[in-house]
Chain A
């Protein structure tokens, strides 16, 4: 199920769930030591094994820069993967819920991304492709160290699971710093998303597991799930209190007003305003389908807009187009 067009469990706070498994093939040095030709070869090997799966094979070098960056904006590939496309390839499902990056930091990175809080399902899907690949390849694996990866921070299960959380109320209350210190003690990381530098725009945070060695996949996922649920509960309680405040209600209404009437909107402004509107929707103050808000924040990002337009729009043209699309959707 496409993550940015759908809302699922805990969807008013949990925007998406991502699971990533990193795998390497014994016979090849890790990607940093491969030539573009060898990287292509790895791509061909993976493509051949997965030929019966419903995944589209994409030679990354064949995409335009806008198309490449758009994939990163939609969280289907990493920014690191978008920065250098030579020799790299991608296998992508129609729904965009499965993406397999070939020769990113590791030979194979299986990623599944689903709407809402859905860790078990996301892991199950990733595991399915892992099994197919694993029974046809000799994975780099060590009895003591588990799956071997180019960066030692990933060895062991080589599993990174994360949930994207919208936490405007907790952030308004200044609780994020305390929260991130607390989760760090539990082997998790909480960090801002969509922001540039230290600025976290739109109060969107990413909660993910940090430790991958010495903990099983199931335990890591259970741990992440339970902490995510606790944060979601806290956010819900804080939101309920927050919308009793007239000043905050005013900010929600004003944000909605600007979205419905602005002639130009930058990406950052859109994300900030939608953050307020989303609270209005989850608290029953505004009635807009929540999936619409998510779709707007994702599909109106710069490179995704350029890709849809089929040409390079100037920043100003994009801002006008963005405001126009938002107006159409919210009227």
Chain B
């Protein structure tokens, strides 16, 4: 995609804004993003600049080599995915890729040791319960009826097969 501003370079910065009553997304190249003033902050209440953020990871990227394909056990993200999107996949990624993330974190914040509050004891935390098979089947049956109503038979067929599978496991 070409930059909307100069229409020459590849757009790398995607900015979501509300302009004249509509939520819109602007696509800019890094030079235009910078000249339009989107260079001196990386996250705040209104802007989302993953690709600009990923610039922070360059050093770590060079040092990586083949370990780039290692994946987080919880969410399946590789460090490569994190670099590309600028998004960390899950809490476990911070453990898994701790040493790789650290140089970038240090560059962003200057410090690498938390000095703020900690959550209160979470021993009795409500863990969202895994749905039982019966609940899952009920959900799917509902969705399947809706799909049939909407004449979305392909989706309905997929759901029918999934329900069969779940029932089979019972």
Cα distance, A21 to B105, chains bound together (Å): 19
CB distance from A221 to the nearest CB of B (A): 11
Q: Are A29 and B46 touching (Cβ within 8 A)?
A: no
Q: Which of B42, B56, B108, B110 has the largest number of chain A CB atoms within 10 A?
A: B108
Residue of A with least CB distance to B28:
A197
Provide the residues of chain B in CB contact with A215, threshold 8 Å. Answer: 111, 115-116
Task: Among B101, B110, B115, point to the contact of A216 (Cβ < 8 A).
Answer: B115
Q: Which of A82, A217, A219 contacts B18 (CB 8 A)?
A: A82
B113 & A159 in contact (Cβ 8 Å cutoff): no
Cα of A45 to Cα of B115 in the assembled complex, Å: 29
Q: Are B17 and A79 in contact (CB under 8 A)?
A: yes
Q: Is B63 an interface residue (CB 8 A)?
A: no
- The docked-state distance in angstroms from the alpha carbon of A67 to that of B7 is 33
Interface centre among A41, A143, A148, A152 (most CB of B within 10 A): A152
* A66 lies within 8 A of chain B by Cβ: yes
- Residues of chain B within 8 A (CB-CB) of A83 are 16, 23-25
Chain A CB within 8 A of B151 CB:
no
Q: Which residue of chain B has its CB nearest to the CB of A267?
A: B20
Q: Is A245's CB within 8 Å of the partner chain B?
A: no
A138-B90 in contact (CB<8A): no
Is B126 positioned at the interface, with any CB of A under 8 Å from its CB?
Answer: yes
Residues of A within 8 A of B120 (CB): 131, 134-135
Contact among B77, B88, B115 for A151, CB-based, below 8 A? B88
A201-220 with Cβ < 8 A to chain B: 206, 208, 210-217, 219
Q: Which residues of B contact A160 (CB under 8 A)?
A: 43-45
What is the minimal beta-carbon distance from B105 to any residue of chain A, in angstroms?
A: 6
Question: Are B18 and A208 within 8 A (Cβ)?
Answer: no
Grouping DSSP codes into helix (H, G, I), strand (E, B) and loop, the A interface class, with mixed when no group exceeds half, is mixed
- A24, A33, A142, A306 — most chain B CB neighbours (10 Å): A33
* Contact yes or no, A156 B116, CB < 8 A: yes
**Hey, which chain B residues are within 8 Å of A41, CB to CB?**
128
Residues of chain B within 8 A (CB-CB) of A301 are 21
CB-CB nearest in chain B for A181: B40
Contact of A79 with B16 at beta-carbon distance under 8 Å, contacts A151-B88, A214-B110 already known: yes
Task: Knowing A30-B87, A152-B101 are in contact, say whether A45-B23 is a contact too (CB < 8 A).
Answer: no
B44 touches A213 (CB 8 A): no
Known: A151-B50, A180-B40. 6 other contacts (CB 8 A): A45-B126, A151-B87, A213-B112, A214-B111, A301-B21, A302-B20
Measuring CB to CB, which residues of chain A are less than 8 angstroms from any residue of chain B?
18, 20, 24-30, 32-33, 41, 45, 49, 65-66, 68-69, 72-73, 75, 78-80, 82-83, 105, 131, 134-157, 159-160, 162, 180, 184, 189, 191-192, 196-198, 206, 208, 210-217, 219, 267, 301-303, 305-306, 315, 318
Can you identify 22 A-B contacts, CB atoms within 8 angstroms?
A30-B88, A72-B23, A73-B18, A79-B17, A79-B18, A80-B48, A82-B18, A135-B125, A141-B118, A142-B94, A162-B44, A162-B45, A189-B41, A191-B44, A197-B37, A213-B113, A214-B109, A214-B110, A215-B111, A215-B116, A217-B117, A303-B22
